[in-house]
Structures are given as structure tokens and as C-alpha cells.
Amino acid sequence: MYSFLLGVHNLLRWVILLLLLINILRHFAAMNRPFTSIDKKLGLWLMIFAHIQLLIGLFQWFVGGYGLQTIKSSGMSVVMQNDTERFFAVEHTISMIIAIMLITFARGIFRKNLTDGKKHRRCILLYTIAMIIILAMIPWPGMDEIGRSLVPGFGK
């Protein structure tokens, strides 16, 4: 179960990055146009996939070997001294939660009493910051022990 969910978690990052890119480009293109139902739906799909990713990630953090179990067995001070354990137990987890919060905040922008241009600009800002955080905290191949394969099941 854990390895299957790790593969799903790995694949979902591509879906989320693609949806982030589509949303950012869409809001740039629609800067001077009304905030439409397509903008709302694209934001909703991004938020749904991000929240699914969060749930899978939290499951992995609580059950897997690089989260709560590591902290329980080794102690927080030992985890903080090990780059790999610190990355997954603290840095990756907290950063991704922040990124998903930004995606969620951006999704709620359409409800605000703002001009459409301001809505688009705020969405661009929040989605861009979320994308930067996500790109910085993905365990890319070549990151020593931290790295994961670009496509699940195809090596490290």
C-alpha cells in the first residue's frame, strides 16, 4: 500500500505542476478580462489534486519511514542532524503544506469583492509562489539520498 501511494504521490506532482502552469498562464492571458467559470474550474481542479496530494503525503508522513516513525525512533535532534531525514520529516512536509495553503487561498480569490484584474493578479502571485515552493522542495533525481525518479517505477 505504501509503495503504491508513493507512486501515486510521485505522479500527482506532475498533474499539480501542469495545472499550476495552466492556471498561471490562463490568469496572465485573462488579465484584462472577466474572471470566468473556467478560471474557477481550473482553480478547483488544482485545489482538488493538491488536497489529494496532501492527504497521501500526510499518510506517508504518519506511516512511512521518513516522518513520524523516524522522529519517534530517533528523536527530533537526531532527525534534524540528518539531511535526508530532516528533508522528508520537516522541510518537504512543511513547505508543501504552505504551497497547498497558497493554492487554496488562490482558489478563494474569485469570491472576493475585487476587480477582475486584481483577482487575476492575486491568483498569479499565489500560484507562482506555490509553484516555486513546490519546485524547490520536490525530491528531484540526483539529490543524493533524497532524490526520487521522475516517473515512478523507473529507477532513482
Above 70 in pLDDT, residue 154? no
Across the chain, mean pLDDT equals: 90
Neighbours of 86 (CB within 10 A): 18
Residue 142 has pLDDT above 60, yes or no: yes
Percent of the chain with pLDDT strictly greater than 90 = 62
Contacts of residue 84, Cβ cutoff 8 Å, sequence gap at least 6: 66, 144, 145, 146
Distances (CA, A) of 68 to 58, 64, 79: 10, 8, 10
pLDDT tens profile 30-77: 888 988 889 899 999 999 999 999 999 999 999 988 899 999 999 999
**Has residue 152 got a pLDDT over 90?**
no
The residue type of 75 is: G
Q: What pTM, to 2 d.p., does this model score?
A: 0.89
**What's the confidence (pLDDT) of residue 2?**
78
Q: Residue 17: CB partners within 8 Å, gap ≥ 6?
A: 131, 134, 135
Cα 27 from Cα 59, distance rounded (Å): 33
Cβ–Cβ < 8 Å for 47, 104: yes
Query: What is the residue extent of each domain of the chain?
Result: 2-137
